[in-house]
Amino acid sequence: MDRLDNTIRPYAWGSTTAIPELLGVRPTGEPQAEMWMGAHPGAPSRTGRGTLVEVIAADPAKELGAEAVAKFGPRLPFLLKILAAGAPLSLQVHPDLAQAKEGYDDEERRGIPVDAGHRNYKDANHKPELICALTEFAGLCGFREPARAAELLDALGVDSLKPYVDLLHAHPEEAALREVLTAVLTADRAEMAHTVTEAAAACARLGGDHAPYADIAHHYPGDPGVIAAMLLNHVRLQPGEALFLGAGIPHAYLSGLGVEIMANSDNVLRCGLTPKHVDVPELLRIVRFEAADPGVLRPEASPDDEEVYETPIDEFRLSRYVLPEGGATHDLTRPTPQILLCTAGSVRAGEHELSPGQSVFVPAGEKAEVSGTGTGTGTVFRATVIV
């Protein structure tokens, strides 16, 4: 079992305080957006044996287990993060596996450098993800019912939004959502900026259900993504609640601290709320234009006190244990790789005592026991795969 030394990414949207507060350290004044735990080549965790990329590459079968290597290849299939949003992230979608492979192969054939600003596909993998709230957490997830989106837009009293309101009342639902999103993202930029400014002022005046969009517009003035965001469900998670984000589901995180886990991929197609490249034709090919409830997940308890967040994919499995003072020791040994992350209190993982924000990597088949340390209740998240 290896204690992990993890990189914190300073993206501009990151909170300046949330991760330092979790770690119990003084804020630097700079944004601290994500702490990465895993073997992503962009920021691999470090161990006493080298980076986790190097450790796994030296003996994939030993570190990952033969079954995981056979199913996913000789790399850790997931990336675990602590995510701290101090401002809205870009509005985005992720491709499914077939779309990712097709898009990646096409851009490779066309010779687009993998680090080019207009490149969509950094790898050939899909990127399903799960976010579990550690604090109250706000986000956007999936399309609203078109009639509800029309009502929200119509209440603003902005004349230039009236055509979108009319489109949203049209049928079928998929065509209505597609036409409106297409119109928003392809409109004249100057005209749309004026519309967004008017809409933002109305959102601030109305408050209530409109208030989140006034805040989004404050961070991204004039961005078409502000109007696109109003087509989506606004979700507020309580600590312990989670969202699963599958392929083609438009989403954005707005504020809060959470544990995020995803397939090990960088593939993102942006819809707005960003100065980065937005490839509208490719985006429209990937988005699933269907209204749906965002589906807030709550953990399902098992007889051994493991609380599991059930998802429909195998690249990751996230669960947690709440370990009371003087409680039982839990045997977590399994034939797949694991990362254990403490998020509250103090926990013992093997020979390691973990405080909030600290984590360990457990190679496949290695003995892994967790328990509280006798200093109050501790919480540990467990990330692994399904084989």
The residues annotated as belonging to the active site are 270
318-339: burial string, b at 16+ Cβ within 10 Å, e else:
bbbbbbeeeeeebebebebbbb
Residue 134: CB atoms within 10 Å: 23
> CA gyration radius for the chain?
22
Q: φ, ψ for residue 95 (rounded to 5)?
A: -80, 160
Burial grade of 374 (CB within 10 A; 0-12, 13-18, 19 or more):
exposed
User: Residue 218 and residue 115: Cα distance in Å, rounded?
Assistant: 30
Answer yes or no: are the C-beta atoms of 63 and 376 closer than 8 Å: no
Answer yes or no: are the C-beta atoms of 95 and 112 closer than 8 Å: no
- Residue 283's H or E segment, with its range, is helix 280-286
**3-state secondary structure (DSSP) of residue 90:** coil
